[in-house]
Amino acid sequence: MTGSPQAIKQDFSETVGADSRAQKNRTVSPEAAALYVDGLTKTFGSGEEAVTAVQDVSFAVESGEVVGLLGPNGAGKTTTIKSILGLVLPDAGDVTIQGIDVYDRPKAAYEHVDAMLEGARNDYWRLTVRENLRYFAAIRGHDPDTLARRHTELLEAFDIAEEADTAVRDLSRGMKQKVSLASVLVGDVSVAFLDEPTLGLDIESSLTLRNELVRLAEERDLTLLVSSHDMAVIEDVCDRVIIMNEGQIVVDDTVANLLDGFETRGYRITGRHIDESTLDDLRNRFDLTGVERLDGRVRFEVAADSTTFYRLTDALEAAGVELADVETIQPDLAEAFLEVTGEGDERSPDDGGTKR
């Protein structure tokens, strides 16, 4: 799936639907949800220096669901995750995990949860890969010997079996990332938070990891909340996405619905017998970009809804243009993200910045 041309200027925020923009809990009770967040609010500082990082954030995640949490730097997603995990005490709001209130009964609630935050920093680099898996299983109250088979399966699934007896500090960044993820999944948890799970991985390893996450979610009814700047990962793995901006949820919807919100599509058209006069006329009537001349042919991109597209093809026919190729360029999740957050004219979601 490739990105649409820059000429697509459809106001996406008006087409995704009011329901997906509103902060809301889905129609699932706190007792039935794997994760339930209601009215989460957190302000840092006081007086004129106060900064509201998260304001009235509410959502619910069902068992076995994989949800992407997206937002530009400073959107509030890190504060949201840390508030859910008890690393930050919110000013207001309720959180339940598997029906257990995390603030009233934190020990019982967090028995169901594990997290990989800030890349691979939760590994012990002096220990070997296998020792890390045994250690994290033990601190979750499991006998590591009884989980030996699961350890082997994870090592093989993430293609790190050959490094099982290697100290983590001697591994590449991508390998360390795999060990970190395996350490999270080694316990018998039902909810896992994954922050940039594919960071440092090559394309092949990233694809393998995506497939494994989907498999684990389906086979173990594992609930995953994934935060990533890699939109391909979110699009491949997640059932739905929650997009935050300026401390609030601006979209909570499925990936399919987000992409369907683009009423305007991009088209890449290649034609023969297009002279300069015809090309100038098309430029005046349609939003053409990326015009190229290719050995007697002309290729260009255009943003158009269905009505505009048919007007364009009629104009080409009337001018005697012979169409050599018409390619539909579908928008992707990265474009949906930029449209919703208004980041498209300023920076990409990979740009640096201060995360709250």
For the stretch 191-248, pLDDT in tens is 999 988 888 788 888 888 888 888 888 888 899 999 988 888 888 899 899 999 899 9
For the stretch 42-65, pLDDT in tens is 999 988 889 999 999 999 999 999
Residue 205 shares a structural domain with residue 319: no
Residue 224 shares a structural domain with residue 325: no
Residue 283 shares a structural domain with residue 150: no
Q: Is the pLDDT of residue 352 over 60?
A: no
The whole-angstrom separation of Cα 35 and Cα 299 is 50
Residue 62 shares a structural domain with residue 105: yes
Alpha-carbon dihedral angle through residues 116, 26, 96, 341, given to the nearest 10 degrees: 40
Residue 287: burial class (beta carbons within 10 Å; 0-12, 13-18, 19+): middle
Domain interval for residue 322:
265-329
Residue 55 lies in a domain: yes
- pLDDT class of 158 with cuts at 50, 70, 90: confident
Residue 80 shares a structural domain with residue 170: yes
- pLDDT class of 9 with cuts at 50, 70, 90: very low
Residue 151 lies in a domain: yes
Residue 182 shares a structural domain with residue 298: no
| Higher pLDDT pick, 19 / 94 | 94
Structurally, the chain folds into a number of domains equal to: 2
Q: Is the pLDDT of residue 173 over 50?
A: yes
Token pair 């999944």 in the structure block, residue: 185
Domain CATH code at residue 276: 3.30.70.120
Mean pLDDT within 155-171:
93
Residue 280 shares a structural domain with residue 209: no
Residue 222 lies in a domain: yes
Q: Is the pLDDT of residue 351 over 90?
A: no
Residue 54 lies in a domain: yes
The whole-angstrom separation of Cα 165 and Cα 126 is 11
- pLDDT class of 250 with cuts at 50, 70, 90: confident
For the stretch 11-39, pLDDT in tens is 344 444 444 444 344 567 888 899 999 99
Residue 92 lies in a domain: yes
Residue 269 shares a structural domain with residue 152: no
The whole-angstrom separation of Cα 301 and Cα 284 is 14
pTM > 0.95: no
Mean pLDDT within 131-137:
92
Q: Which of 5-14, 85-94, 172-181, 282-291 is least confident?
A: 5-14
Residue 30 shares a structural domain with residue 112: yes
**Structural domain ending residue among the three candidates 217, 240, 260:** 260
**Structural domain ending residue among the three candidates 245, 260, 275:** 260
Q: What is the mean pLDDT of the chain?
A: 82
Residue 247 shares a structural domain with residue 288: no
SS (H, E, C) the chain: CCCCCCCCCCCHHHCCCHHHHCCCCCCCCCCCCCEEEEEEEEEECCHHHCEEEEEEEEEEECCCCEEEEECCCCCCHHHHHHHHCCCCCCCEEEEEECCEECCCCHHHHHCCEEEECCCCCCCCCCCEHHHHHHHHHHHCCCCHHHHHHHHHHHHHHCCCHHHCCCEHHHCCHHHHHHHHHHHHHCCCCCEEEEECCCCCCCHHHHHHHHHHHHHHHHHHCCEEEEECCCHHHHHHHCCEEEEEECCEEEEEEEHHHHHHCCCCEEEEEEEECCCHHHHHHHHHHCCEEEEEEECCEEEEEEEECHHHHHHHHHHHHHCCCEEEEEEEECCCHHHHHHHHHCCCCCCCCCCCCCCC
Residue 162 shares a structural domain with residue 100: yes
Domain CATH code at residue 70: 3.40.50.300
For the stretch 309-347, pLDDT in tens is 889 999 999 999 999 998 877 666 666 666 666 665 443
Residue 232 shares a structural domain with residue 270: no
Q: Is the pLDDT of residue 7 over 50?
A: no
The whole-angstrom separation of Cα 36 and Cα 96 is 5
Residue 304 lies in a domain: yes
Residue 4 lies in a domain: no
Radius of gyration of the chain (CA): 24
